[in-house]
Amino acid sequence: RRKPLIVVAAVVGVLLVVVAAVLLTGLGGDGGGDDKAAPTPSPSRTVATSAPALPAGVQCSGAACTGKDPEAMGCSGQYAATVSTATVGASTIEVRYSKTCGAAWARITQAVAGDSVRITGAGGSKPQSRPVAAAGDAYTPMLAVPSASAAKACATLATGVSGCTTTP
């Protein structure tokens, strides 16, 4: 007679321990009978911490392009356009701009050794320039600019003649 009573008491004791453990560890759902549901986390604004995704072959954007070669960085070709031109003597100077790279550079064509070409931008950024070493075409390193209209190309020819593009 006593044996079944001890077994029932043991089973009830084990069940009480299991129920207490579930309630104390929160495995039982809402963790204690509160009628309030857990608050839903509000969406937070995500701040971009990395550079924008660039097309294949393009290796810089914005300030990271300043001083770099536009061809080597993948900013020329299909990602560039001539946004302004001027004739200086027998040479033509151009502002080339890449929206993808956020940078501009100056190009001179029909140049001779001793000519030089320079790109300047708005905001006091350091101009980029390049002397022409041999007859033909030459271009400056890139300069980060906020828009195509923020850049101006200038040339000084070996003859002393100089000139600049106008803002588009």
Buried b (16+ CB within 10 A) or exposed e, 67-92: ebebeebbbbeebbeebbebebbebb
Per residue in 14-69, pLDDT (tens digit) is 888 888 887 777 765 554 455 555 555 555 554 444 556 888 889 999 999 999 99
Per residue in 11-26, pLDDT (tens digit) is 888 888 888 887 777 7
pTM here is 0.68
Q: Are the CB atoms for 93 and 165 separated by under 8 Å?
A: yes
Angle among Cα 47, 52, 53 to the nearest 5 degrees reads 130
Enter the tokens of residue 132.
Answer: 């022409």
